[in-house]
Amino acid sequence: MRLIYLDNNATTPVDPLVLKEMVPFFSVYYGNPSSPYRLGQEAKQHLKKARIAICRFLNCEEDEIVFTSCGTESNNAAILSALRTTGKKRIVTTVTEHSSIQELCTDLEKRGFDIDRIPVDSLGLIDLEEVEKRINEQTALVSVMWANNETGVIFPVEQIAEICRKRGVYFHTDAVQAVGKIPIDLSKIPVDFLSLTGHKFYAPKGIGVLFVRKGRPFEPFIRGGSQEMRRRAGTENVPAIVGMGKAIEILSHQMVEENKKIRALRDLLETRILSEVPLTKLNGDKLNRIPNTTNICFKGVDAETLLFDLDQKGICASGGSACTTGSLKPSRVLTAMGLNPLEAKSSVRFSLGRHNTEEEIQFAADEIVKSVEKIRGKIPRH
C-alpha cells in the first residue's frame, strides 16, 4: 500500500543524501573523536565540519554549539542550567510549550520553583506586554518556543528576546519546529540559548543542539567527560552529527524554494478540507504560521477514529502531538486556545514535508472528505 506521510512535525525521514554521508562513520571512520591517533582525529575533523555547517546556517560561532542527544535534552539542559547558574527560582514560559518544557516545569514547581505560564489567545498567540509584566528580579530564564508543534503558530521571538535583553534576563527558545521552516539568524536576534533537533529536518533521530551564546554561564546537564568543551559529557554520536551537518547544508541550499512548494501544498490541502468538509475550522493563527502545518477541527468527528480510518488508507497524520498520542486527554495546546475538550478531540494536525507531491495531497484531500462523510454518516441522527 502507498504511504502518504503528513506527520513531518512528529519526525521526518532521513534524506538519502544524509544517509549516504553517515554510512562510512559506522564502519570506516569509526574512531572516537577523543582518541589521539589518526582514526580518532579524522572523526574529530568531521565533527568540526558538521559544526561549521550548523554555525553558517544559524550565523553563530563554533564554540556556541553544544551537541546533545535530542531537543528534549537541549530544553532540559537550558532550563536547569539557568536555575543553577543564576541561583534564582523563577521561570517565565507559556502554556503551549512542548511537553519537554512543560513536564520539567511541572516537576520544578513541585520542588518549590516558581513557574509562570503566559496564556495564549484563541489564535494561539501571546501578548508581549504579558511577557514584560511577568519578568521580575527573581526570574532565572524566559523560555518561549519559536513555533508550536501542534498548530504551527510562530511566537514573536525577536521581540521577546529584545524585551529580555533590556530587562537583563536570559532568554531560551525551543526552535525545534522552526529550524528549516523559517529563517533564523542568531547574529541579529539576542537569544541566549536555543534548542534544535535533527530529526525534524531529515537528519536522524537522537541528535540535537543547544546553542549557548558566548559569555553566557552554562552548567552541564550530563557530566562525566570533557567532550563539547566540558558542556556535555559522553562520546559524540559521530554518524548522527555528520548526518545533521549534511541535513543543514542541504537546507541552506534549498530551504527557501522548498518552503514555497510546501506552503502551496499545505494551502491546497487546507483549502480543500475547509471548503469541502462541512463544519470544519482552522485552529491557530492563519498568518503567523510555519509553512508546513495545518491543524483542523472536524466538528463532531472523533479525531482518533478519523486518524485510524486514514491510516487504513496509508495516510499518516496526528491528533495533538505525537508524544501525547494514545493518551485520551484532549490537546493541552488547543484547550489553552479556548477549544472545549470535544473540539480539541476532534482536531487533526497535518504537517507536510519535502517529499509530498501535489498528487498525494489531492488524493489525501479526497480521502479525508470521504472518511469524514463515512464517520459522520454512522452517527445516529435524531
Ligand X SMILES: Cc1ncc(COP(=O)(O)O)c(C=O)c1O
Catalytic residues: 323
* Comparison of 140 and 244: residue with beta carbon closer to ligand X: 244
Cα separation, 191 vs 57, whole angstroms: 15
DSSP three-state, residue 87: coil
Under the binding rule (CB under 6 A), the answer on residue 197 touching ligand X is yes
* Rounded alpha-carbon distances, angstroms, from residue 116 to 92, 141, 146, 287: 5, 11, 18, 27
Q: Count of CB atoms within 10 A of residue 1's CB?
A: 5
DSSP three-state, residue 212: strand
- Strand partners of residue 66: 210
Cell of 240: 548522527
Binding segment toward ligand X, per CB under 6 A, in 66-74, 83-91, 119-127, 299-307: 66-74
Binding segment toward ligand X, per CB under 6 A, in 169-177, 246-254, 261-269, 338-346: 169-177
Under the binding rule (CB under 6 A), the answer on residue 284 touching ligand X is no
* Comparison of 262 and 301: residue with beta carbon closer to ligand X: 262
Under the binding rule (CB under 6 A), the answer on residue 330 touching ligand X is no
Residue matched to cell numbers 502554556: 95
- Candidate residues 174, 258, 270, 360; the one interacting with ligand X per rule CB under 6 A: 174
H helix or E strand, kind and range, residue 296? strand 293-298
213-272: which residues touch ligand X (CB under 6 A)?
A: none
- Candidate residues 94, 149, 280, 371; the one interacting with ligand X per rule CB under 6 A: 149
- Candidate residues 6, 47, 58, 70; the one interacting with ligand X per rule CB under 6 A: 70
* Comparison of 157 and 368: residue with beta carbon closer to ligand X: 157
Cα separation, 60 vs 188, whole angstroms: 10
Minimum CB distance to ligand X, residue 145 (Å): 5
Size of the site for ligand X (CB under 6 A): 13
Cell of 88: 534564582
Minimum CB distance to ligand X, residue 339 (Å): 19
- Alpha helices (H) along the chain: 16-22, 24-27, 38-58, 71-86, 99-110, 128-134, 157-167, 227-230, 238-276, 303-312, 332-336, 341-344, 358-378
Cell of 253: 541550499
Q: Give the length of the chain.
A: 382
* Comparison of 149 and 292: residue with beta carbon closer to ligand X: 149
* Comparison of 75 and 94: residue with beta carbon closer to ligand X: 75
- Candidate residues 177, 237, 294, 351; the one interacting with ligand X per rule CB under 6 A: 177
Under the binding rule (CB under 6 A), the answer on residue 96 touching ligand X is no
Cα separation, 363 vs 360, whole angstroms: 5
- Candidate residues 44, 51, 88, 98; the one interacting with ligand X per rule CB under 6 A: 98
- Candidate residues 204, 208, 220, 320; the one interacting with ligand X per rule CB under 6 A: 208
Under the binding rule (CB under 6 A), the answer on residue 153 touching ligand X is no
Binding segment toward ligand X, per CB under 6 A, in 55-63, 69-77, 258-266, 357-365: 69-77
Residue nearest to ligand X (CB): 71
Under the binding rule (CB under 6 A), the answer on residue 71 touching ligand X is yes
Quick check: 307 and 317 in contact, CB under 8 A?
Answer: yes
- Strand partners of residue 196: 209
Which residues are near ligand X by CB under 6 A? Answer: 70-72, 75, 98, 100, 145, 149, 174, 176-177, 197, 208
